[in-house]
Amino acid sequence: MYSYQKTADEIVNQDPELAIIPVGSLEQHGPQLPIMTDWAIAKAMGEGVAEKTNGFLIPALPISTCREHMGKKGSVWMEPPTFYHMMNDMIMSLKTQGFRKVCIIQCHGGIFVMTPLVRDLNAKNNPDLMVANIDMMVIFQKLYQEGLVETNTELHAGELETSMILVLAPETVHMDRAVDFVPNVPRAYLSYGSIFRATPLGMWGEPTRATKEKGEAALNRAVELAVEEMQNIYSYMEKKKKFGYSEF
């Protein structure tokens, strides 16, 4: 049973110090995947991390920032300052209740305001509050390095995301429509034009290599890697001693 299925009194009795916030997005994912892809992966990752840590799980957030997907109907975004303040308010509400640790699981790579958000929260609230951000783009590279997938070209709707959705919602995947495409521009160029300027069909990777078996292995290992990295981040922050006037 996840935290949001419990009563408030049950949560008080459990008294967790860790809160988990999975963050996804509603956005186009090429011709083969549903717009819920990032949210579905965030939901699965949050549940997996909660099962391993007994943390307080907040339901996965379905909307964040995704202006880089402008051009086709179905992508829904908020402005970066809105996202920043929403997340800040949520995390401060958790701090007020006595949570000492917050783990954000970022399952949409286009939340470019996440780095200043996390840095500001830690700079202003360490050591009373520690905020970790687990970026799935980093996890994806580790999954490739460990040989769980064949390609390291994954940025959007490629081999890994397609494999994961073949596990989480196979009825929504259209493998007959999958097309491999790796743009000849770097990720940073998403600041200069929508993803459709780099890849006309809206994917960035090699989804034709996706399989359910790869998805099952990748999801399980991704949860383990997320927990390991979360623990490493908290350990790093817990070891810090005051430097001059700063706890950060």
Domain presence at residue 2: no
Residue among 113, 22, 25 at smallest CA distance from 77: 25
Residue 186 has pLDDT above 90, yes or no: yes
User: What is the percent of the chain where pLDDT is above 70?
Assistant: 100
d(CA 155, CA 182): 9
Q: How far apart are the first and last CA of the chain?
A: 36
Domain presence at residue 123: yes
- As a whole number, mean pLDDT of residues 28-45 equals 98
For the chain, the domain total comes to 1
Domain presence at residue 11: no
pLDDT at 157: 98
Residue 80 has pLDDT above 90, yes or no: yes
- As a whole number, mean pLDDT of residues 87-99 equals 98
User: What is the percent of the chain where pLDDT is above 90?
Assistant: 100
Domain presence at residue 7: no
d(CA 121, CA 244): 19
Domain presence at residue 112: yes
Domain presence at residue 6: no
pLDDT at 167: 98
Q: pLDDT-derived band of residue 5, with 50, 70 and 90 as boundaries?
A: very high
**Which domain does 114 fall in, by range?**
18-236
pLDDT (tens digit per residue) in 197-216: 999 999 999 999 999 999 99
Residue 71 has pLDDT above 90, yes or no: yes
CATH for 183: 3.40.50.10310
**Look-up of token digits 């880089």:** 68
pLDDT (tens digit per residue) in 140-171: 999 999 999 999 999 999 999 999 999 999 99
pLDDT at 149: 97
pLDDT at 93: 98
3-state secondary structure of 241: coil
- As a whole number, mean pLDDT of residues 31-38 equals 98
Q: pLDDT-derived band of residue 24, with 50, 70 and 90 as boundaries?
A: very high
Could you tell me if 8 and 16 are in contact, meaning their C-beta atoms sit under 8 angstroms apart? no
Q: pLDDT-derived band of residue 1, with 50, 70 and 90 as boundaries?
A: confident
Domain presence at residue 105: yes
> Is the bond leading into 127 cis (omega within 30 degrees of zero)?
yes
